[in-house]
Chains A and B, each alone.
Chain A
């Protein structure tokens, strides 16, 4: 049986396709709580949202940010610069919990609280109180405090609405193989909507970051035009900062069990922290705080699954680099002798 390949648009029109890519991205998650209809409550995903916030927030505005992840963190930085009184409410026991461990989170937390940003951990918003406009926020831990703006920055979920009611397989995101193809022939998905292969956990997961989206889109595009291309897989990686505090992390940063080795080094005078996570002879994750130069060398070790046993003892050195690599590895990379 020949299947008709059409997509239906919102206006009822049909468009036929040979190959289809679903790249609908993510949508901000807003929890179902009382008081969502009050004014001055918003998410922080689009440029328009940032602009409207900037025009509405005044110095000393009391802003509550729900979620101390990547989005909430950057929102806090911008709002603090506008002179707002910022409170971050985070359900986990630390901010940036997906990319930091306890120690690095405490360094970053100190920098924020030093600027007067308040951070409330292990709790979340229970109810938003006010008439037309938000006036107060009530937390699950029982606290109530005044607020004139609230930002939901809990994260994004794959925007899979468009495939609802179809036979396309969805877990958290649209499930794709290493060619970014869904369970249906000729239908592909990439980016924040897709649940693709993560090379570090050896299974599929949603990694809603730009570098992954780019690679997935490229892989999908190549396959869609008939050039066979399988992705090696992606893994989480983030570069983010708060003013003069820099954070670069990648891969598995909080190992789930004792089969991993962890090396750490901290310099509290410089507020720097370095953590490397190894599985056997491979680097599988790292955290760098402030001392972030040349971070990509570690990312490369993860990406290329380099056996680091010959230079494991040098990984933490301040001047760690290619000079500590075995000669043949160094030359193959620096002199373009690698066999592709």
Chain B
């Protein structure tokens, strides 16, 4: 399946991926509006790891054998059998953080305001991950595997 892959060699740690991840999942699909007006602004579903000079962004790997899907106590976490995308049905999620306990990538974010697990959905709505689209250095690619 197509996933987002990081090229750590060319990442400069600007965190624009975080900014655009937030924007993409905000009710406003505009950076300024998302930051200025969204009272319930979502958390970034990306972790930018840094230990200078190294940096890269890390998001859900949509694992073949996804531990979060198996461990989820409510069935909120699902892997689409066709696309392979792992998504959290936030109506079912009760915020128990069992997914946080089992995700070996640490890629599931706790949205403590809404008490739901928040994770990369590859920007299902727009069809193209916003982090990839807006990475100025092309340090993120969306492809079928490297």
Chain A residues proximal to chain B, CB less than 8 Å: 210-211, 214-215, 218, 237-241, 246, 248, 250, 292-297, 299-300, 303-304, 319, 321-324, 330, 333-337
List the 8 closest A-B pairs by CB distance, nearest first.
A300-B104, A294-B106, A296-B103, A323-B49, A211-B71, A239-B101, A297-B106, A323-B51
B105 touches A319 (CB 8 A): no
Interface of chain B, helix or strand or loop or mixed?
mixed
- Residues 62-99 of B, flagged 1 when their CB comes within 8 A of A and 0 if not, give 00000100110100000000000000000000001111
A322 touches B105 (CB 8 A): yes
Partner of B97, one of A246, A324, A333, A335: A246
When distances are taken between beta carbons in the complex, the residues of chain B under 8 Å from A299 are: 101-104
B100 touches A293 (CB 8 A): yes
When distances are taken between beta carbons in the complex, the residues of chain A under 8 Å from B55 are: 323
Output the least CB separation between B125 and chain A (Å). Answer: 25
Determine if B5 is an interface residue (Cβ-Cβ < 8 Å): yes
When distances are taken between beta carbons in the complex, the residues of chain A under 8 Å from B106 are: 293-297, 321-322
User: What is the count of residue pairs linking A and B with beta-carbon distances less than 8 angstroms?
Assistant: 100
Determine if B30 is an interface residue (Cβ-Cβ < 8 Å): no
Contact residue range for chain B?
A: 20 to 34
B49 touches A293 (CB 8 A): no
With A210-B71, A211-B71, A248-B97 already in contact, the answer to whether A296 and B104 are too (CB < 8 A) is yes
With A239-B96, A321-B58, A323-B56 already in contact, the answer to whether A297 and B105 are too (CB < 8 A) is yes
Using CB atoms, name the residue of chain B closest to A247: B97
When distances are taken between beta carbons in the complex, the residues of chain B under 8 Å from A294 are: 47, 100, 106
A336 touches B101 (CB 8 A): no
Partner of A295, one of B5, B6, B100: B100
Output the least CB separation between B104 and chain A (Å). Answer: 3
Determine if B108 is an interface residue (Cβ-Cβ < 8 Å): yes
* A294, B104: Cα distance in complex, Å: 8
B49 touches A322 (CB 8 A): yes
* A330, B141: Cα distance in complex, Å: 17
